[in-house]
Amino acid sequence: MWAISSLVPARFLTLIAHLVIVITIFWSRENNVKACLPLTYTVEEYNIEDIRLVVALSVTLGLFAIELAGFFSGASMFNNSQGLLSTACHASGSVALLFFLFEQWTCSIYWWIFGFCSVIPALYEMILLIAVFALKKKPL
């Protein structure tokens, strides 16, 4: 029982850590946008890559809103499988995004991190929200 109850704070902390790193990338995205471009680029190319990164970060923030809504509503707070999945995905996402931020990886790598570390737990969260609120299943 102790391991199950320790998933709740671990899930919350990794979710918040991942959220803080995404917000940090959002605020300081200029260097990451430049890392996505060749050595010589035009203003138009810069604007296109900037818009792509802003869209990716905005969608990530939307998925965080879904996960936090499910977590704070209690629909998935004590669900062991969602807790473990979310903790693993957001912990690995936090580490990967720190490398993305500090090593200035290309923007295409962000989409891989987004897919594995943000989309998967958010989809499972949506399934749990539908099961709890629409189908009236008991939250675990």
Residue 70 lies in a domain: yes
Q: Is residue 139 assigned to a domain?
A: no
In a domain, 35, yes or no: yes
54 is written with which tokens? 């802003």
Q: How many domains does the chain have?
A: 1
Please give the structure tokens belonging to residue 7: 């998933």
116: domain range? Answer: 2-134
Determine, yes or no, domain membership for 48. Answer: yes
The burial class, CB within 10 Å (0-12 / 13-18 / 19+), for 42 is exposed
Tens-digit pLDDT profile for residues 31-46: 999 998 999 999 999 9
Q: What is the largest CA-CA distance in the chain?
A: 58
Indicate whether 83 belongs to any domain: yes
**Tens digit of pLDDT for each residue in 94-130?**
999 999 999 999 999 999 999 999 999 999 999 999 9
Q: Considering the entire predicted model, what is its pTM?
A: 0.90
